[in-house]
Amino acid sequence: MAEIINLRQKRKQAARAAARKTADENAARFGQTKHARNLTKARTDQAERQLDSHRRDTADPKD
């Protein structure tokens, strides 16, 4: 004889699995903590400032 299954529970399980999959995708895409984002931004800004400070002036000497 076949096993009896509750369709309501199966639907809820499928919905939970879909939500978990979406959450995992979002965590992979946007998964940095605020501290990590701030640290990355600070390091990038510092590298840009350092690069800009080492640039040569390319203005015409005639000016």
pLDDT tens figures, 2-16: 899 999 999 999 999
Structure tokens at 7: 């369709």
Confirm if 29 and 21 have CB atoms less than 8 A apart. Answer: no
Residues 54 and 47: their CA atoms lie apart, in Å, by 11
pLDDT the model gives residue 28: 83
Distance CA(55)–CA(49), nearest Å, equals: 10
Rounded distance, CA 7 to CA 53, Å? 66
- Alpha carbons 22 and 20: distance in angstroms, whole number: 5
Report the distance separating Cα 12 and Cα 9, nearest Å. Answer: 5
Q: What's the pLDDT band for 46 if we cut at 50, 70, 90?
A: very high
Provide the pLDDT for residue 58. Answer: 73
Of the chain, the percentage scoring pLDDT greater than 70 comes to 92
When pLDDT is averaged across residues 16-41 and rounded to a whole number, the result is 92
Mean pLDDT, rounded, of the chain: 90
